[in-house]
Structure 1
Amino acid sequence: MIRLASVLTLWVACLQSQAQEIELNLPDHDDKKYFLGIGLIYNSSRFNITHDPTFLQQDSIQSIEAQNAGGFGLAGMHTYRISKRFEIRAIFPQLLFSYKNLTYHLKTPDGAKEEQKVMTKRLESILVGLPVHLKFRSDRINNFRVYMFGGAKFEYDIASNSTARRAENLVKLSKYDFGVEAGIGFSFYFPVFILSPEIKFSNGLMNTHSRDPNLKFSNTIDKLNSRMILFSLIFEG
């Protein structure tokens, strides 16, 4: 027992010695009240579909499925420190190239319009957004820190086709969306910058479908709510 206690004491002493030898990168960063960053973003997006009541009464479309599609984006990060634990972060400008797929299973395809039994409509959005988050940070462990955050977003789709007139095969999307977001990130302190891999879940609360009863692929849908998972690499100085 004495020998085991001696080994444990020596092991703890070695760990403490190694911890003391680790050099802290950017030791004065936590004293900053405000700092900037840039984010490189990959997003995976889809729609949550609510069918129109007339869906069961029509005989052309059998079913509609929402499928994930990938996209990318860039963002500017503006962070203001409130206290040791809390920060407010505004992401602006946030520019996302987002794609969402709707797959239709048709009962009676129209050969004259080159329709098939299974057809996928790819909807493209170019979203200019302003998310605002409240961040909760853990203690800094040497050159590492964990944080969680939640907040809201506002987005404007500059590629919206809601005003298109001749759009027989389109599903129209509105220009605006509002939603809630939450996620977790990990900060790694390097000598001249901080790298933070981050995952975020974003749910749109507004109906982004601009329904047109005259469009075959639109009139069977009542609501389209956006769902998005974002993976970001954030660089801060």
Structure 2
Amino acid sequence: MQETKRIALLIDCDNVSHKAIEGVLEELAKHGTVNVRHAHGDWNNPSLSGWAEKLHPHAIRPMQQFAYTKSKNATDSAMIIDAMDLLYSGNVTAFALMTSDCDFTPLVLRILESGFPVYGFGERKTPQPFVDSCSPFIYIENLMSGEGADSETPAPVKKTSKAKLRQDSALVKLLRTAVDQTAGDDGWANMGQVGSYIANNNSSFSSINYGYRKISDLIKATELFKSELRNGTAMYIRDPKS
């Protein structure tokens, strides 16, 4: 039986919206237990008032970092130190970084070298190097809570249409390659193995960024593959062009 991951969630409150925290915690619950929840920022700054309201309801520990100068981001440094302390503590087996700052890319790579996954959450403005380094990375716009101040329910995820999915050449190539590489002699590939291949070869990929909770739902939405159910539970797919 696989051990449940112990996840450390570190939040860069300076550049990521508090409205997505419910969705982020909900997503992380699929991977393990978030036993460390640290929110970094200068809590004297009125701009963090939205985050301040989220701390107690979600058992998030505020980590105070004063802004000593205007030109330097002390929060980033404090968050990196916190991550390294946790890395060497042995109390966690996975990390989640909620930030849109590319400066954390070296940190992600260092954590990955230690054999721990890093789940990334950030806004659409997040630079691609940071997105690509995480495993996986999810845009928080797809996890946002409603606009109401008291809303705790994530807004419905908008699904990308079949036409737009097919127009995404990189996505189509990724899916077809995954099916081709995992297919048996008969040309049929197990859906679970296809998903594993994608995760292993493009760790930052997440179907949620396209509006689909599961990779199987995304693949079905493209209507690029034939599918059949075997033994009542196992889904197999095949590329008609192969």
- Structure having the larger proportion of residues in helix: 2
Q: Shorter-chain-normalised TM-score: which range?
A: under 0.3
Between Structure 1 and Structure 2, the one with more strand by share is: 1
Please report the TM-score for the alignment, with normalisation by the length of structure 1. Answer: 0.21
TM-score (norm 2): 0.21
In terms of Rg, which structure is larger?
1
